[in-house]
Amino acid sequence: MKKLLIITVLFLFAGVSFGQTSKIATVDIEAEEAALNDLFDKFDSAFKTHDISTLASYLTEDVLMCGTDPSQFWNKQQITYVWTQMSGESAPEIKYLGDREIKVAPDGNSAIVMIQYILPWSPKIPWRNVYHLIKNNDNWMILFGSSAFIPKNEDVPKLIEALD
């Protein structure tokens, strides 16, 4: 009788243990990539038209934006001010280098978007913007952004020599 009771208890524990597997929702990565592409189409459009409130609406409250200079670290208020100062200028003609690269995390709650381009005042040194986004109440928001010069590897020695 004791053996039967012990075996029954073991089966109950096993059933409870194996029956409580968490169900992971599947994420439609292609749909998330499309949503991010749409967001950045709107972001680029707002940048070109100097629509600062729309630009700011895509940023988290604790966003960190980094410029090309090592001293350029901006929070939401600061980057909004920088964009406002730029609004008196005409938007630069941007020549994109390839398509946006988008990488969505498997859980669908974060993503990285990378854009490469040439600006008129930097025709020989391309730029790269990288953004880290998080999902907040089913909306994608920029948590981090960074701009960087991306010279070709063969041009790096020339740049170093020019700076000496």
How much is the pLDDT for 160?
92
Q: pLDDT for 28-87, tens place per residue?
A: 999 999 999 999 999 999 999 999 999 999 999 999 999 999 999 999 999 999 999 988
Query: What's the rounded Cα separation, in Å, for the pair 124 and 102?
Result: 25
Q: How far apart are CA 70 and CA 73, in angstroms?
A: 8
Number of other CB atoms surrounding residue 6 within 10 Å: 10
Let me know if 140 is exposed, middle or buried by CB neighbors in 10 A (0-12, 13-18, 19+): buried
Burial class (CB in 10 A: 0-12, 13-18, 19+), 15: exposed
- 133 neighbors 60 (Cβ within 8 angstroms): no
CATH class of domain segment(s) 27-163: alpha beta
- Give all strands (DSSP E) within the chain, no chain letters: 59-66, 73-74, 95-96, 101-104, 110-119, 122-136, 139-149
- Residue spans per domain, the chain: 27-163
Highest mean pLDDT among 17-26, 85-94, 140-149: 140-149
Q: Which residue has the tokens 């895509």?
A: 58
CA 18, CA 23: separation in Å to the nearest integer? 12
- In this prediction, residue 88 has a pLDDT band, given cuts at 50, 70 and 90, of confident
Tell whether the model's pLDDT for residue 12 goes beyond 60: no
Tell me the per-residue pLDDT of 96-146, one tens digit each, with 9 for 90 and over.
Answer: 999 999 999 999 999 999 999 999 999 999 999 999 999 999 999 999 999
Q: How far is CA 16 from CA 20, 24, 25, 80, in A?
A: 6, 19, 22, 53
pLDDT, mean of residues 152-159: 94
Residue 23 has pLDDT above 70, yes or no: no
